[in-house]
A and B are shown apart, each in its own frame.
Chain A
Amino acid sequence: MPERRRPQLNVHVQGWLLALPAVVLLAAFTHVPAVATVIDSFFSTPHGRRPAAFVGLDQYRTMMADPIFRLALKNNLLYALITVPVSIGLALAMALWVKGSIQGRTALRLAFFTPTILPMVAAANIWLFFYTPDYGLLNQVLRALGFSSVNWLGSPATALPALMALTIWKEAGFFMVFFLAALQQVSPVLYEAARMENASGWLVFRRITWPLVMPTTLFVAINALINAFRVVDQVIAMTGGGPNNATTLLLYYVFQVAFNFWDSAYAAALSTVLLLVLAIVAFLQFFLLDRKIHYR
């Protein structure tokens, strides 16, 4: 008796079926909301019985005139400009340090990584204690040295730098792990070849180590930059955007507009701008920097 062939599903249909769960999740929680946000930004916020009406670019015109938005954007750019390079530099320095065969290497690695394990809000609470006026750790040290107490989170000049310090402290340990992995990928014989030429430590770093960890640096930089524009936890936990909006960052402002002022359409417009900023950042890094980087 001839074997009956089971009906075969088209191979493409099969493939799509396999990908379906992931596609549904990704679409439902990422792509659809993103597109909906962009669409919402062209409408007014619905209130009670008044439905949303198409207002074109009105929300964006409001934004251009909004001093708090401009301040949040400026704060955020400054925040990214300082935390990204500093945390990368620190991460690389720590990685270079713990790569060598020093005593207590494992303990050092663990110590550097600990901040990463802490939830951001917990870390924020610890730092809140450091920054507390009068009896906070930093102020106790300052007073012991004969300086007057500083209200770190309370004065506009120091609030944003105080938040940056926390971010750098928390991110550097995480990025160090990536650099450590990258450094261990570099063949030790390359360093021996450099040693044969009596190249100095700085020259070896500049001409061998740095170019060879460049792919990792790019990866870490993109992540750090995206993180810099996604900061919200420590702002909520430590300053609430104050004093006088000195620590208001873009995402925190979006959060405020959407859930404190309930102006969802304006929040949608702000989110669209945020998305655009991130898209431009990613585009610049991938397409302009990429050509100068050596991948193995």
Chain B
Amino acid sequence: MISVDVRSVTKTWGETLAVDDVSFAVRKGDLVVLLGPSGCGKSTMLRLIAGLEEPAAGSIEIEGRDVRGLTGSARGVAMVFQSYALFPHLDVADNITFGLSVRGIPRQEMARRLDKIAALLGLEALLRRKPAQLSGGQQQRVALGRALIAEAPVCLLDEPLSNLDAQLRQELRREIRALQQRLGITMIYVTHDQTEAMSMADRVILMRAGRIEQNGTPADLYERPATLFTARFVGAAPMSLLDLDDGPSGAVVAGTTGPALFLGSGRGRVLGLRPEDVTVDIANRPGRFHVAVTAVEYLGAEALVTCMIGERPIMARTRGGSAPAVGATVGLVWDASAGHVFDAASGARLAIETGAGPLSTRLHTTANQGSTRA
């Protein structure tokens, strides 16, 4: 069942298009992340769903009802603001029950629901404190409590964790996701942090310049990025992007003479490779790119090794303990089917099967051959 249905929504600020003909649907009980760099229109999209802004064109349906002209609770949505927006002069209990008191809910009912929410979020001991007496994480919980107590079917969160330190962020990420699944509410969550998006979302909607770049599950975005932009944006370590050129027997990495990667033209195309798909091979066997290591980023369990192929850097992931030294010459190899090919001009993914050509099989390492679809 569809909980939030956004249809061809457009929003302009003067001359600029903040949201440009965006449509998507959110299933009931899903956590959908609106992801994108700052200025991509994701926060505006959230405010449009909240009713804090009205769209210039298009319509929004929440729980099967056109919500034009309604705001917030009247639409059945609650919101957690980036800066929490807690009322500084009210204590935690009054902050959480503010919405209920506005609607004139009886005192007893209010107290019952407050107890429930306080227990759910572990705020029992803090109810009489003022926001200024709380830590950032506690303030975040109060803001969440204020949104949840209304029991609105849809909860909107605008970069709720961006003001917290990394460890707390990770903790609250799990907590919010667990809460969302337990209560079965629909959440729309705005963030610019792709890790947050990938780890929490049922679906990720990646936005860019007011438009949807890609709408899919986290795995869709990671494994089959539809555009160069998605490929660059998603993934903790960025995808290595290599410009291609025409070689004598197929596409080659620009600035090199081979080996060929796939049959056909390489000019105007870009090959994308995830660091974990690239293997560093110390042994000097043929059919590999022999390159020098320019940088090693040690992360503990693993290390990111950067090398230059032609003029482009390529990253490979190795075990932390077995990373080569900077300056060492290594052989790089990857499973040909792991490559993503994009059109350089439009950024669109091309349906070129890098693992299908007869030439490419020569590139495979013995270790990787099991997974090749040759």
| A197 touching B85, Cβ below 8 Å | no
Nearest CB in chain A to that of B95: its residue: A193
Asked, given contacts A196-B52, A296-B88, whether A187 binds B72 with beta carbons under 8 Å apart, the answer is no
| A197 touching B52, Cβ below 8 Å | no
A260 at the interface (CB under 8 A from B): no
- Docked Cα-Cα span, A196 to B87, in Å, equals 14
Closest chain-B Cβ to A284's Cβ sits at a distance in Å of: 22
Chain B residues positioned under 8 Å from A199 (CB to CB)? 102
Closest chain-B Cβ to A181's Cβ sits at a distance in Å of: 17
Instruction: Report which of A195, A203, A207 forms a contact with B72, defined as CB distance below 8 A.
Output: A195
Chain A residues positioned under 8 Å from B79 (CB to CB)? 193, 196
Query: B74, B77, B98: which has the most chain A beta carbons within 10 Å?
Result: B98
Asked, given contacts A187-B83, A196-B78, A198-B73, whether A294 binds B88 with beta carbons under 8 Å apart, the answer is yes
Chain A residues positioned under 8 Å from B89 (CB to CB)? 211-212, 214, 294
- Docked Cα-Cα span, A68 to B285, in Å, equals 114
| A192 touching B81, Cβ below 8 Å | yes
Chain B window 116-145, contacts with chain A (Cβ cutoff 8 Å), 1 for yes, 0 for no: 000000000000001010000000000000
A208 at the interface (CB under 8 A from B): yes
Chain B residues positioned under 8 Å from A208 (CB to CB)? 87
| A192 touching B52, Cβ below 8 Å | yes
Closest chain-B Cβ to A197's Cβ sits at a distance in Å of: 4
| B-contacting residues, A171-220, CB 8 Å | 187, 189-190, 192-199, 203, 207-208, 211-212, 214
- Chain A at the B interface: mostly helix, strand, loop or mixed? helix
- Docked Cα-Cα span, A194 to B132, in Å, equals 19
- Docked Cα-Cα span, A190 to B99, in Å, equals 13
- Docked Cα-Cα span, A84 to B371, in Å, equals 84
| A197 touching B88, Cβ below 8 Å | no
Chain A residues positioned under 8 Å from B98 (CB to CB)? 193-194, 197, 207
Chain A residues positioned under 8 Å from B102 (CB to CB)? 194, 197-199, 203
Asked, given contacts A190-B87, A192-B52, whether A197 binds B73 with beta carbons under 8 Å apart, the answer is yes
| A197 touching B132, Cβ below 8 Å | no
| B99 touching A197, Cβ below 8 Å | yes
| A193 touching B73, Cβ below 8 Å | no
B50 at the interface (CB under 8 A from A): yes
| A212 touching B99, Cβ below 8 Å | no
- Docked Cα-Cα span, A190 to B78, in Å, equals 14
- Docked Cα-Cα span, A233 to B52, in Å, equals 51
Chain B residues positioned under 8 Å from A187 (CB to CB)? 83, 85
Chain B window 58-100, contacts with chain A (Cβ cutoff 8 Å), 1 for yes, 0 for no: 0000000000000111100111010101011110000000110
Chain A residues positioned under 8 Å from B72 (CB to CB)? 195-198
- Docked Cα-Cα span, A62 to B194, in Å, equals 83
Nearest CB in chain B to that of A196: its residue: B72
| B71 touching A198, Cβ below 8 Å | yes
Asked, given contacts A197-B98, A197-B103, A199-B102, whether A190 binds B52 with beta carbons under 8 Å apart, the answer is no
Closest chain-A Cβ to B41's Cβ sits at a distance in Å of: 18
Chain A residues positioned under 8 Å from B81 (CB to CB)? 189, 192-193
Query: A197, A207, A211: which has the most chain B beta carbons within 10 Å?
Result: A197
Nearest CB in chain A to that of B77: its residue: A196
Chain A residues positioned under 8 Å from B130 (CB to CB)? 294
- Docked Cα-Cα span, A205 to B130, in Å, equals 20
Instruction: Report which of B52, B73, B88 forms a contact with A212, defined as CB distance below 8 A.
Output: B88
Closest chain-A Cβ to B13's Cβ sits at a distance in Å of: 15
Closest chain-A Cβ to B169's Cβ sits at a distance in Å of: 21
- Docked Cα-Cα span, A212 to B72, in Å, equals 23
Chain B residues positioned under 8 Å from A212 (CB to CB)? 88-89
Chain B window 267-288, contacts with chain A (Cβ cutoff 8 Å), 1 for yes, 0 for no: 0000000000000000000000
- Docked Cα-Cα span, A187 to B86, in Å, equals 10
Chain B residues positioned under 8 Å from A198 (CB to CB)? 71-74, 102
- Docked Cα-Cα span, A205 to B17, in Å, equals 34
| A190 touching B85, Cβ below 8 Å | yes
Chain A residues positioned under 8 Å from B73 (CB to CB)? 196-198
- Docked Cα-Cα span, A193 to B150, in Å, equals 13
Nearest CB in chain A to that of B81: its residue: A189
Chain B residues positioned under 8 Å from A296 (CB to CB)? 88, 132
Chain A residues positioned under 8 Å from B88 (CB to CB)? 212, 294, 296
Instruction: Report which of B85, B103, B132, B150 forms a contact with A192, defined as CB distance below 8 A.
Output: B85
- Docked Cα-Cα span, A214 to B50, in Å, equals 31
Closest chain-B Cβ to A207's Cβ sits at a distance in Å of: 8
Query: B52, B72, B103: which has the most chain A beta carbons within 10 Å?
Result: B72
Known: A196-B99, A197-B98. 18 other contacts (CB 8 A): A187-B85, A189-B83, A189-B85, A193-B81, A193-B87, A193-B98, A195-B71, A195-B72, A197-B72, A197-B99, A197-B102, A198-B72, A198-B74, A203-B102, A211-B89, A212-B88, A294-B88, A296-B88
For this complex, 15 residue pairs linking A to B, each with C-beta atoms less than 8 Å apart, are A187-B85, A192-B81, A194-B98, A194-B102, A196-B52, A196-B71, A196-B72, A196-B77, A196-B78, A197-B72, A197-B99, A198-B74, A207-B87, A207-B98, A296-B88
**Residues on A facing B (Cβ under 8 Å):** 187, 189-190, 192-199, 203, 207-208, 211-212, 214, 294, 296
Closest 6 CB pairs of A and B: A196-B72, A294-B89, A197-B99, A193-B85, A189-B85, A211-B89
